[in-house]
């Protein structure tokens, strides 16, 4: 099983029934005739208003069926995955919802859709109905293309047409205004990976990211090399600027998730877009959201149109569809002063090259181990131990450059606690912060360094709930510190830390952390990444300490 489906020939029917049974759509119904005729219609449509009908192949959810409702579509006709619905299905939709005001068909510019919707329109006209059709061709990937594809901007056309209908605009005028809007609409897509067809073997992914993809997995206009999210956005904007030069002024923009991009990535891309000069022209943003997808394509698209009063009003108008993401005016984040930040104790910078070298060596060892610790953690946890520790180490290195109280061990550990508390996420940041806070207090009372570390370990056990044998960093830290306190021999402490790591390989059950949720076969043979990190630090410091601890 490679997808959550029941059977290949039931995918679209089951999906539509799930949508309808979920209760997300209000005042909607399906026409009889499943599975050959898949049509979703409004039950509250006023026949004195223009009906707006759209559709096409499935696989673009939530488009088009989820947009059936007051303020958007009157009906949606759904074909098989990435395949146009039949002429009969389109005609059934027209006959079901078209009254005296007539209907407008919104069709994406693909041959199958044009043919089937066009023929259905002609047959409906033979029966005396008023039917008009507009073709959406918003893809700007190939400027010289004689037949640009209809992609995500189609949903913005739905929104405008639905708004005009709700305001009792006559059919001829609806068509004219929508056609004008289409002529001033442009979209561009970019994907890191193409799409798979549900229930079929995975497609061979393109060897590199592509710019200007269609919404059915068609190859892009060009292969591109992408450095990061900001660079991806810049490549898209480069195409859009040619179509929407600065003299056109303010813009309405939709940022669409083509299927598999995670929400945090969509927010990163949004931030990257809005910080560009082109993005700063955006006065109304739709998304980021999956508005018109391409199954599981790992990509995004941007749809752009100049601001007009009518289009802005249309995009802001409320609709019944809960899948319409809404339109919002971008803002600069407000910043409110934090009492915790403003009350931070300041420390004096004190120079001590030997201590600085110890700090630098420790942090650089953790930064260098980032990838290996992440890989190890991916086997027994959530794969971020190395990244989390490297982030904390990098923050301490920055603090070292800014100046630390290197001659005052208790103050130094207090600074470590605060820096790690701010820079490290997850439980390990809090635990290390607790360790250094307790150890700093012990040093301030005159305790030795090994004893201070012991008190720090006690704090970790108290607040974290773990103990040696639970497959955590304590399995290396406790024996190392115990050896250090009893023998005062750093070489022996290093050996104890490494032995503690090796013991975790044979522990088939974890008592704390995310590893505690895993099966024994996932743990056996793999050392705990936290314990491994402790051993890495001790081993990195070994040449500097050189045997006996002063």
pLDDT at 183 over 90: yes
Side-chain half-sphere of 321: how many Cα atoms within 13 Å?
30
Please tell me the class of the 8-328 domain.
Answer: alpha beta
* DSSP H or E stretch at residue 301: strand 298-306
Q: What CA–CA distance (Å, rounded) separates 550 from 546?
A: 10
Using one digit for the tens of pLDDT, what is the confidence trace for 303-328? Answer: 999 999 999 999 999 999 999 999 99
Burial class of residue 182 in the structure, from the number of CB atoms within 10 Å of its CB (0-12 exposed, 13-18 middle, 19+ buried):
buried
CA distances 240 to 138, 234, 281, Å, are: 11, 10, 12
For residue 81, give both structure tokens: 């995955």
- Tell which residue, 536, 424, 365, has the closest CA to residue 527: 536
Q: Tokens 């910078």 label which residue?
A: 349
For strand 222-223 and strand 251-257, is the pairing parallel, antiparallel, or unpaired? unpaired
Extended beta strands in 466-548, E state: none
The answer to whether 281 and 240 have CB atoms below 8 angstroms apart is no
3-class DSSP state of 489: strand
**Which of 45, 64, 158, 216 is labelled catalytic?**
216
CA distances 269 to 19, 112, 142, 332, Å, are: 29, 33, 23, 16
* DSSP H or E stretch at residue 289: strand 282-289
Q: Where does the pLDDT of residue 201 fall: very low under 50, low under 70, confident under 90, or very high at 90 and above? A: confident
CATH of 349-545, one of 3.30.300.280, 1.10.1300.10, 1.25.40.340, 3.90.45.10: 1.25.40.340
Q: Which residue has the higher pLDDT, 522 or 101?
A: 101
The answer to whether 388 and 366 have CB atoms below 8 angstroms apart is no
pLDDT the model gives residue 205: 57
For residue 394, give both structure tokens: 């990098």
| Domain map (residue ranges) of the chain | 8-328, 349-545
- Please give the angle made by the CA atoms of 169, 57 and 92, to the nearest 5 degrees: 55
The answer to whether 79 and 86 have CB atoms below 8 angstroms apart is yes
pLDDT the model gives residue 549: 47
Is the fold of 8-328 the same as that of 349-545?
no
Q: What CA–CA distance (Å, rounded) separates 190 from 222?
A: 10
CA distances 205 to 3, 217, 224, 293, 427, Å, are: 17, 10, 14, 17, 37
In this structure, how many other beta carbons lie within 10 angstroms of the beta carbon of residue 114? 17
CA distances 408 to 346, 414, 489, Å, are: 14, 10, 23
CA distances 190 to 56, 90, 149, Å, are: 22, 31, 15
Exposure b/e, 66-87, CB count within 10 A at least 16 = b: bbbbbbbbbbbbbbbbbbbbbb
* DSSP H or E stretch at residue 287: strand 282-289
Extended beta strands in 169-279, E state: 186-193, 210-211, 222-223, 251-257
Any catalytic annotation for residue 216?
Answer: yes
Q: Report helix angle 353-368 to 370-380, nearest 10.
A: 50
> What's the N-to-C CA distance of the chain in angstroms?
62
pLDDT the model gives residue 93: 98
Of 72-76, 368-372, 462-466, least confident by mean pLDDT is 462-466
Q: Where does the pLDDT of residue 1 fall: very low under 50, low under 70, confident under 90, or very high at 90 and above? A: confident
Using one digit for the tens of pLDDT, what is the confidence trace for 391-450? Answer: 999 999 999 998 999 999 999 999 999 999 888 877 888 889 999 999 999 999 999 999
Q: pLDDT > 70: what percent of the chain?
A: 93
Which one-letter DSSP state was computed for residue 334?
P
The answer to whether 148 and 138 have CB atoms below 8 angstroms apart is yes
CA distances 392 to 98, 152, 362, Å, are: 63, 41, 11
**In angstroms, how far is CA 132 from the centroid of its own chain?**
39
Using one digit for the tens of pLDDT, what is the confidence trace for 101-157? Answer: 999 999 999 999 999 999 999 999 999 999 999 999 999 998 888 889 999 999 999
Q: Which residues are 302's β-sheet partners?
A: 188, 255
Extended beta strands in 43-155, E state: 51-58, 75-81, 103-108, 131-136
Q: Where does the pLDDT of residue 514 fall: very low under 50, low under 70, confident under 90, or very high at 90 and above? A: very low
pLDDT the model gives residue 517: 35
pLDDT the model gives residue 31: 96
Q: What CA–CA distance (Å, rounded) separates 427 from 529?
A: 14
Across the beta sheet with 251-257, what order do the strands follow?
222-223, 210-211, 186-193, 298-306, 251-257, 282-289, 327-328
pLDDT the model gives residue 376: 87
pLDDT the model gives residue 523: 54
């Amino acid at each position: 099983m490679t997808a959550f489906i029941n059977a290949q020939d039931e995918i679209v029917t089951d999906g539509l029934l799930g949508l309808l049974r979920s209760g997300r759509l209000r005042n909607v119904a399906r026409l009889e005739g499943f599975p050959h005729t898949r049509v979703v219609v409004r039950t509250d449509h006023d026949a004195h208003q223009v009906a707006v009908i759209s559709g096409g192949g499935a696989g673009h959810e939530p488009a088009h069926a989820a947009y059936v409702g007051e303020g958007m579509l009157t009906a949606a006709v759904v074909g098989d995955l990435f395949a146009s619905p039949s002429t009969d299905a389109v005609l059934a939709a027209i006959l079901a919802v078209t009254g005296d005001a007539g209907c407008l068909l919104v069709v994406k510019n693909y041959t199958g859709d044009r043919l089937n919707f066009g023929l259905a329109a002609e047959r409906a006209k033979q029966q005396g109905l008023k039917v008009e059709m507009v073709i959406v061709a918003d893809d700007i990937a190939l400027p010289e293309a004689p037949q640009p594809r209809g992609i995500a901007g189609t949903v913005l056309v739905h929104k405008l047409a639905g708004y005009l209908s709700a305001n009792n605009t006559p059919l001829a005028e609806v068509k004219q205004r929508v056609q004008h809007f289409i002529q001033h609409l442009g979209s561009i897509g970019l994907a890191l990976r193409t799409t798979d067809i549900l229930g079929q073997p995975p497609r061979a992914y393109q060897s590199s990211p592509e710019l200007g993809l269609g919404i059915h997995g068609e190859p892009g206009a060009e292969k591109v090399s992408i450095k990061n999210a900001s660079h991806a956005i810049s490549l898209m904007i480069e195409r859009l600027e040619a179509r929407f030069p600065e003299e056109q002024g303010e813009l309405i923009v939709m940022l669409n998730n083509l299927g598999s991009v995670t929400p945090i990535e969509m927010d990163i891309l949004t931030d990257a877009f809005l910080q560009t000069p082109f993005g700063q022209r955006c006065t109304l943003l739709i998304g980021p959201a999956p508005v018109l997808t391409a199954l599981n394509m790992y990509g995004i698209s941007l749809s752009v149109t100049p601001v007009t009063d009518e289009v802005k009003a249309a995009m802001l108008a409320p609709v019944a569809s809960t899948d319409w993401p809404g339109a919002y005016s971008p803002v600069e984040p407000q910043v409110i002063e934090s009492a915790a930040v403003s009350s931070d104790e300041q420390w004096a910078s004190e120079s001590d090259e030997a201590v600085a070298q110890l700090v630098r060596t420790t942090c650089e060892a953790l930064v260098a181990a980032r990838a290996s610790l992440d890989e190890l953690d991916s086997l027994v946890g959530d794969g971020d131990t190395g990244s989390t520790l490297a982030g904390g180490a990098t923050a301490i290195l920055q603090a070292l450059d800014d100046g630390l109280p290197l001659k005052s061990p208790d103050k130094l550990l207090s600074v470590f606690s605060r820096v790690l508390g701010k820079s490290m996420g997850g439980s390990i940041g809090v635990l290390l912060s607790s360790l250094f806070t307790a150890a700093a207090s012990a040093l301030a009372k005159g305790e030795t360094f090994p004893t201070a570390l012991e008190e720090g370990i006690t704090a970790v056990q108290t607040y974290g709930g773990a103990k040696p044998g639970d497959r955590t960093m304590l399995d290396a830290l406790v024996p190392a510190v115990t050896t250090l306190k009893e023998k005062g021999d750093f070489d022996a402490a290093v050996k104890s830390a490494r032995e503690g790591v090796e013991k975790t390989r044979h522990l088939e059950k974890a008592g704390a952390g995310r590893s505690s949720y895993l099966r024994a076969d996932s743990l056996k043979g793999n050392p705990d990444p936290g314990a491994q990190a402790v051993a890495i630090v001790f081993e990195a410091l070994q040449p500097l300490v050189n045997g006996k601890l002063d």
